[in-house]
Structure 1
Amino acid sequence: MEKWKKDYLKGILRDYPKMEDYYLERKEKLLFHTKGTHPHSTTETQNKKMLISISLDRQLINLERNQKVIAQCLENATAETKEIIERLYLSDKQKASLDLVADQVFLSKRQVMRLRDHFFEELAEHLGI
């Protein structure tokens, strides 16, 4: 897998615990923007435009899709793989190294890398990368 793909997937995984907050923040921005731009419209018209804006917003769509795909991939992963991904990317303690995680899960560094890379391949496939 190319380095840019791995880096992209790592970024998405690091954002996964905060995706719900990002989603709500983006939705709030759309609500505020929609209400503020149409002062003379009826409430019904404003609501329709707001719903259309929310349903068509690319950031919201991508956040929802990424969240669902990551949850699905984690659900399908083995217990070891889940633990590796959680320790490397989803925990509050950033900067966990492969060596440290390998020691914590009682596997070799090479095996940790294989499991992580397999997870990345599955995640990339589901995301269409």
Structure 2
Amino acid sequence: MNIIRSGTKKRIEEILRDYPKMDRYISDRKQELMYPIQEVDENVGGGKSSKVSRPQERMIITIDEDKELKALEHEKKAVEASLLDSDTDTNIIARELYFKDHPKYQMDGLIEDGLIYCGHTQAFQKKAKLIRRIAKEMGLYDPY
């Protein structure tokens, strides 16, 4: 069995909790890039700028090169790919434990109330496998 570092596990769990809000985060970041706060230029005259002069072209380049936006999109794709590759029980575990603002269940409750159809040990294995799968998709997978 592959072991994952506790810091990596916590980071993946944070990403899972943020996943339902990821589209909004991406949209907000694009808005920040498209409509930046304009600085007042007090330089009268002056020389030429090295920036691209056409604003539309500059905006496309900015959006395309923004590291924060790329990271958000990469996290979203990693979670989506991992959930698509997972079984129904794993998807329910993710939805109930991570995607809800105020989770009603813990793992034992999911099993006892019949929301997932596996035992205690297998449920925790499915959760761990999902976390490892997302870490691997993101390139955070620990090599031991």
Query: Same fold by TM (over 0.5)?
Result: yes
| Unaligned 5+ runs, structure 2 | 42-48
* Runs of at least 4 residues off by over 6 Å: none
1:120 pairs with one of 119, 127, 131: 131
Q: TM-score, normalised by structure 2?
A: 0.77
Q: What root-mean-square deviation, in Å, do the aligned CA atoms of Structure 1 and Structure 2 show?
A: 2.1
| Unaligned 5+ runs, structure 1 | none
Higher relative contact order (CA 8 A, sep 6+): 2
The within-5 A match list for 1:28-107 is 28-33=31-36, 36-37=38-39, 45-94=54-103, 96-103=105-112, 104-107=115-118
Give me the whole-angstrom Cα distance separating, in 2, the residues matched to 1:106 and 1:80: 7
- Whether the 8 Å contact between 2:111 and 2:119 is mirrored in structure 1 is yes
Q: TM-score, normalised by structure 1?
A: 0.86
- Whether the 8 Å contact between 2:75 and 2:138 is mirrored in structure 1 is yes
The secondary structure found in structure 1 opposite 2:58 is helix
CA separation of 1:58 and 1:86: change in aligned 2, threshold 3 A: same
Deviation at 1:106, TM superposition (A): 4.2
Deviation at 1:99, TM superposition (A): 1.8
Deviation at 1:48, TM superposition (A): 0.9
The answer as to 2:17 corresponding to 1:6 is no
Percent identity of paired positions between Structure 1 and Structure 2: 26
For the pair shown, the structure with the greater C-alpha radius of gyration is: 2
Deviation at 1:98, TM superposition (A): 2.2
CA separation of 1:62 and 1:72: change in aligned 2, threshold 3 A: same
* Other-structure match for 2:20: 17
Give me the whole-angstrom Cα distance separating, in 1, the residues matched to 2:104 and 2:34: 36
Question: What is the number of equivalent residue pairs in this alignment?
Answer: 125
Deviation at 1:85, TM superposition (A): 1.2
Give me the whole-angstrom Cα distance separating, in 2, the residues matched to 1:38 and 1:95: 51
Give me the whole-angstrom Cα distance separating, in 2, the residues matched to 1:7 and 1:59: 20
